[in-house]
Structures are given as structure tokens and as C-alpha cells.
Amino acid sequence: RLTKKEHKEEKQKDKEPGTEKIYRPTPDGDFKIIPLGEDPTKGIKIGAGLPNLVKKQLEACLMQNAELFAWSAAELPGIDPEVA
């Protein structure tokens, strides 16, 4: 984790040409990858420390709604690629 000052400095660095970073959320602690469908590269990370009942319910919900996930900008028609 960064302090507010360190975060501000990092953002300043990112504004310099050629040093842009892509920020993505990352799970806190250990996680488990839940595969969605046949393709092993298409999976969602969930916390490994979740209670078993919650984990099973979440896995079932993710699998039932797997078609709602977009894995590339090409799967997001009408969304500006800059936003994606």
C-alpha cells in the first residue's frame, strides 16, 4: 500500500509520456480462481478466506452469469476503448 503522498507521486510519474501504468483491482490476501466455461484463461478471482457457504453461492452465481463478462474490448460494442 502507498501513502497518499506516494500515491500522488506515482500518479505524477504516470503522466510522463511512456510511463503510463494500468491500474487494476487486486484481491486482498489469498484468492482462488473460479474458471468460467471451457477456456482456462477466463476465470474470476475470489477470496480464499470466504466461508464455504458464501464461496459456493458466489461460484454458482458467477457460473450462471458467465455470459455477462467481457474478456476483451471487442466484446464491448458501443463502449469507447479509452473507457475500457
pLDDT in tens, 52-81: 999 999 999 998 988 888 888 788 788 777
Is 0.85 topped by the overall pTM? no
Alpha carbons within 13 angstroms on the beta-carbon side of residue 24 total 5
> Domain limits at 46?
31-67
Looking at residue 53, its pLDDT comes to 95
Q: State the DSSP string of 23-37.
A: -----SS-EEEEE-S
Is residue 57, in this structure, part of any structural domain at all? yes
Chain mean pLDDT for the chain:
80
Alpha carbon 75 to its chain's center: 16
In a domain, 42, yes or no: yes
CB neighbour list of residue 58: distance below 8 Å, 6 or more residues apart: 34, 46, 50
Domain count, the chain: 1
Q: Is residue 50 part of a domain?
A: yes
pLDDT for the residue numbered 58: 93
36 inside domain:
yes
Count of C-beta atoms within a 10 Å radius of residue 36: 19
So what's the pLDDT on residue 60? 93
Position 69 scores a pLDDT of: 84
